[in-house]
Amino acid sequence: MSKVKISIVIVSYNTKEVLQNCIESLYKTEKKACFELVVVDNASQDETIGYLDNLVKEKDNIQLIKNDYNAGFGKATNQGIRISKAKRILLLNSDTAVGKNTLGQLISFSKKHNDDSILAPTLLNADGTTQASCFRFPTIKGAVAEYWFGKENRFSKYIPEGITPKVVDAAVGAALLVPRKVIDKIGFLDERFFMYFEDIEYCRRAKKAGVKVIYLPLVKITHLHGESGKARPNKTNSWLVQSSRIYHGRLSYLLLTLVLRVGTSKFFRTKHVKKNSK
């Protein structure tokens, strides 16, 4: 593994088809010698384990962790990071697919910036259109500005303009390159977040530590979005609520929920947002 330039950590949970597509895209477009693949499975009950067991027999650059329960995204990701070997770690969702030289571009940019920043490639929808994947840190003030006064991109995800790299507050964790130097500085993902908000919290912690999050418009990864949660929407929503409470704090979460409910109501938007956005 001395030649390994990047470790790719993928958490899987009942997503065998998209996981296979993701892994196949890596082997089709990248030289095996340049990367190691670390897959952490959260007790999948579909055909995922059989597929991964066979893959480990075929490939010599894969490490596999098989949890006997669903440990959640944050904890499983940390498990993968801890056994990874490279100085650069790409956190990659199972419902993604990389294109030609994606890893090479990420490695090259990270090298040029002394491996001291978190890198966020552009995420594409299945039809090739660009996915909104950057955030300003979510606040009550931002929610009021966007949902009460019609000021765009103050709370919801957005697409940065232009083709030059840009520093952003936070980016969706479907694909993030995190150098080990950064992990040594700010630590691992917060395991209180079972699923959702762990990426925003990590970026917030990074900013407090002086670590930049850089959005790369010309480095692109396809992201199907939300595959793990499709089969259990009610459970997925409960994870989202729980994580939001942890991130914002109980009181701020309640105030934020009120702001969003009022701001997204049909009556309020008709009377206020349209008027203020003119």
Distance CA 86, CA 180 (A): 8
Q: Which of 7-21, 58-72, 220-234, 246-260 has the lowest mean pLDDT?
A: 220-234
Position 130 in a domain: yes
The DSSP secondary structure of 90-152, one letter per residue, reads: EEE-TTEEE-TTHHHHHHHHHHHTTT-SEEEEEEE-TTSPBPP-EEPPP-HHHHHHHHTT--T
Q: How many CA atoms lie within 13 A of 68 on its CB side?
A: 0
pLDDT given for residue 274 in this prediction: 54
Per the structure, the complete domain to which residue 159 belongs is given by 6-276
Instruction: Give the pLDDT band (50/70/90) at residue 231.
Output: low
- Summarised one tens digit per residue, pLDDT across range 140-164 is 999 999 999 999 999 999 999 999 9
Is the pTM above the cut of 0.85? yes
Enumerate the β-bridge partners of residue 11.
40
Position 191 in a domain: yes
Tokens 């931002």 identify what position? 142
Angle at Cα 114 formed by Cα 113 and Cα 119, nearest 5°? 50
pLDDT given for residue 1 in this prediction: 45
pLDDT given for residue 228 in this prediction: 54
CA-based torsion, 61, 12, 50, 43: positive or negative: positive
Helix axes 233-248, 198-208, angle to 10 degrees: 20
- Summarised one tens digit per residue, pLDDT across range 97-146 is 999 889 999 999 999 999 999 999 999 999 999 999 999 999 999 999 99
Total structural domains in the chain? 1
- CATH assignment of the domain containing 39: 3.90.550.10
Position 71 in a domain: yes
Mean pLDDT of the chain: 92
Taking Cα atoms as reference points, which of 230, 224, 260 lies closest to residue 129?
A: 224
As given in the structure block, the two tokens for residue 142 are 């931002």
Q: Is residue 166 a contact partner of residue 160, using CB atoms and an 8 Å limit?
A: yes
Q: Is residue 14 a contact partner of residue 41, using CB atoms and an 8 Å limit?
A: no
pLDDT given for residue 29 in this prediction: 78
- Summarised one tens digit per residue, pLDDT across range 184-206 is 999 999 999 999 999 999 999 99
Radius of gyration for the chain, computed over Cα atoms and rounded to the nearest angstrom? 19
Position 174 in a domain: yes
Position 44 in a domain: yes
Position 1 in a domain: no
